[in-house]
């Protein structure tokens, strides 16, 4: 997953930047529509506004790794997409609009991101930084580690009270038992987001069940959401978390 921070950006700017970069990456690497997707993470106390990009191809095709190593070229490509004839004002199907981003059409406005893209293209980039998620322990504490976790994190921050990412759960002797993906410490609610790649093997499932059983023994309620459910019905995940929080109060 590729994270691009844009500290001075709001929701519409972040959405437009995301689609501009996706369009440029698809063109640069001759990828098919839908092979690269993303979402926006709103600013909070832990991070600035951030655009998250990920590959939908199983195992990845290396598009984002190559894009990260040459972000100025991707930004230049996005700027080139702006220039078409006849020109449009905000965006159109000749530049950034497509079937896959229909929900965002009303929020995409290329005028909002031209300055930032020019900065990225010139390698100045004072308003954006590029980060590979999950490289350091502190980075893991501040960010969700995978697209599935980041998607759930973003939705939870919009609708729920503060929580901790990868917070420590320890036993009576102070020994670490688990670091759930999201933790409501005061409410003793531990949440796990299980993507298929890391939680599908029999050995891993057995290990997950053992650890989460121990967490329950320590008095925590445990909620586990599959990657499929998070991606396909995140609203039901939020409702279940809300109910659990209400029951704990």
- For residue 147, what is the domain's CATH number? 3.40.960.10
pLDDT band, residue 6 (cuts 50/70/90): confident
What span, in angstroms and rounded, lies between the C-alpha atoms of 239 and 159?
A: 10
Stretch among 30-39, 100-109, 150-159, 239-248 having the lowest mean pLDDT: 150-159
25-54 pLDDT per residue, tens: 988 888 888 888 888 877 776 677 888 888
At 165, phi and psi to the nearest 5? -85, 130
Extract the tokens encoding 91: 């965006």
**pTM of this structure:** 0.53
Same domain, 169 and 116: no
Structural domain count, the chain: 2
Same domain, 59 and 146: no
Same domain, 177 and 231: yes
Out of 81, 103, 132, pick the residue that ends a domain. 132
- Half-sphere exposure for 105 (CA within 13 Å, toward CB): 8
**Cα dihedral across residues 42, 43, 44, 50: positive or negative:** positive
What span, in angstroms and rounded, lies between the C-alpha atoms of 120 and 93?
A: 24
Same domain, 25 and 124: yes
């Amino acid at each position: 997953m590729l994270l691009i921070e844009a500290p001075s950006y709001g929701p519409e700017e972040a959405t437009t930047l995301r689609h501009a970069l996706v369009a440029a990456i698809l063109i640069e690497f001759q990828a098919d529509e839908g092979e690269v997707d993303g979402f926006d993470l709103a600013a909070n106390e832990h991070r600035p506004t951030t655009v998250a990009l990920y590959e939908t191809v199983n195992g990845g095709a290396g598009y984002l790794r190559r894009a990260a190593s040459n972000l100025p070229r991707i930004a230049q490509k996005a700027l080139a997409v702006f220039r078409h004839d006849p020109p449009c004002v905000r965006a159109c199907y000749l530049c950034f609009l497509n079937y896959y981003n229909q929900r965002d059409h009303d929020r995409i406005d290329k005028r909002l991101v031209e300055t930032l893209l020019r900065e990225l293209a010139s390698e100045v980039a004072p308003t954006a930084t590029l980060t590979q998620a999950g490289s350091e322990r502190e980075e893991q504490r501040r960010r969700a580690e995978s697209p599935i976790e980041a998607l759930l994190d973003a939705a939870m921050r919009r609708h729920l009270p503060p929580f901790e990412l990868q917070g420590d759960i320890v036993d009576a002797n102070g020994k670490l038992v688990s670091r759930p993906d999201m933790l409501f410490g005061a409410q003793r609610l531990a949440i796990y987001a299980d993507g298929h790649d890391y939680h599908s093997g029999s050995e891993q499932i057995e290990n997950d069940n053992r650890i989460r059983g121990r967490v329950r023994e320590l008095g925590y309620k445990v909620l586990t959401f599959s990657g499929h459910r998070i991606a396909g019905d995140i609203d039901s995940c939020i409702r279940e978390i809300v109910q659990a929080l209400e029951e704990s109060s």
